[in-house]
């Protein structure tokens, strides 16, 4: 009887162990901790997360949408394991970067803004009368002549909510940068042309702390990104507004 109880106990442990292994394979014991920028979420967020959840139906999700600068700080501080957004020109050296695609941000103003004609005549002077409405302005972002980007505008309004930024600018309250990842661009907005900073090209991708081993969920999410956007040798990053 003692031998029988021992054998039954071992068989139970084996069944539990095999079940745990199956749950690990299915991702049940892992959590995807991911933060997406609004532009990335608008373009690929639903598709990528749908594919991830179909492949890993039992993996827990911890996904937020946040301004790109906040994502960089959050990944560096360990609040999120993965960040998916534009690369800033001063990305922390401890990050492992996987560039995926490029993003172009155009400076835009309301089509019926009273200063739009003045912009056509002298954009540089007129912009100094207008606020830049942005999610967060990188203090170290520079134009080619060495001046800070914020110095080109009358002031800076930091508004994290993308729809609110667009609504404020459409209502004539200032100017903003709009990513080409957003489609369609609001009809009430038009581009401000003719300035070195009228558009900003940026590399967009996934990043994580390189000195920490990735979780199973992170490795599986990165595998999907590697399939969709094979790693390129050039991972040059640019400044963000």
Higher pLDDT, 221 or 238: 221
Mean pLDDT of the chain: 85
SS (H, E, C) 147-215: CEHHHHCCEEEECCCHHHHHHHHHCCCCEEEEECCCCCCCCCEEECCCCCCCEEEEEEEEEEECCCCCC
Question: Does the structure show a pLDDT above 60 at 170?
Answer: yes
- Token pair 């390189």 is at which residue? 210
Q: What's the confidence (pLDDT) of residue 144? A: 39
102, β-bridge pairs: 203
The whole-angstrom separation of Cα 28 and Cα 82 is: 19
Note the pLDDT tens digit of each residue in 114-131.
998 898 889 889 999 999
Instruction: Specify whether the CB–CB gap between 86 and 99 falls below 8 A.
Output: no
Within-domain flag for 235 = no
Q: For residue 132, give the CATH number of its domain.
A: 3.40.190
Q: 216 and 176, same structural domain?
A: no
Distance CA 133, CA 173 (A): 8
**Domain membership flag for residue 187:** yes
Confidence class of residue 167 from pLDDT cuts 50, 70 and 90?
A: very high
User: Do the domain assignments include residue 233?
Assistant: no
Are residues 113 and 42 part of one domain? Answer: no
Q: Is 171 a domain residue? A: yes
Assess whether pLDDT exceeds 60 at residue 80. yes
What is the tens place of the pLDDT at every residue in 32-78? 999 999 989 988 999 999 999 999 888 899 999 998 889 999 999 99
Convert the pLDDT of each residue in 84-118 to its tens digit.
999 988 899 999 999 999 999 999 999 999 998 89
143 contacts 164 by C-beta, under 8 angstroms: no
3-state secondary structure of 32: strand
Write the CATH number for 45: 3.40.190.10
Q: Which domain holds residue 87?
A: 2-100+203-228
Residue 241 lies inside a defined structural domain of this protein:
no
Dihedral, 133, 185, 97, 141 alpha carbons, nearest 10 = -30
Domain tally, the chain: 2
Greatest Cα-to-Cα distance within the chain, rounded to the nearest angstrom: 97
């Amino acid at each position: 009887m003692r031998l029988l109880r021992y054998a039954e106990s071992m068989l139970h442990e084996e069944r539990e162990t095999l079940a745990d292994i199956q749950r690990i394979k299915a991702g049940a014991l892992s959590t995807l901790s991911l933060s997406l920028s609004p532009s990335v979420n608008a373009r690929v967020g639903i598709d990528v997360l749908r594919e991830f959840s179909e492949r890993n139906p039992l993996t827990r999700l911890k996904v937020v949408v946040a301004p790109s600068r906040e994502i960089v700080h959050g990944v560096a501080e360990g609040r999120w394991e993965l960040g998916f957004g534009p690369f800033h020109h001063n990305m922390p050296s401890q990050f492992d970067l996987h560039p995926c695609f490029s993003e172009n941000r155009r400076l835009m103003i309301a089509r019926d803004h009273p200063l739009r004609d003045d912009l056509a005549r002298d954009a540089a002077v007129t912009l100094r009368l207008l606020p830049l409405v942005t999610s967060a302005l990188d203090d170290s972002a520079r134009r080619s002549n060495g001046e800070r980007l914020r110095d080109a505008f009358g002031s800076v309004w930091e508004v994290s909510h993308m729809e609110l930024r667009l609504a404020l600018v459409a209502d004539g309250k200032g100017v903003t940068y709009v990513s080409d990842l957003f489609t369609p661009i609001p009809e009430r907005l038009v581009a401000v042309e003719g300035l070195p900073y009228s558009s900003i090209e940026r590399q967009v991708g996934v990043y994580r702390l390189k000195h920490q081993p990735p979780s199973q969920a992170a490795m599986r999410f990165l595998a999907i990104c590697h399939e969709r956007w094979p790693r390129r040798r050039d991972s040059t990053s640019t400044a963000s507004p």
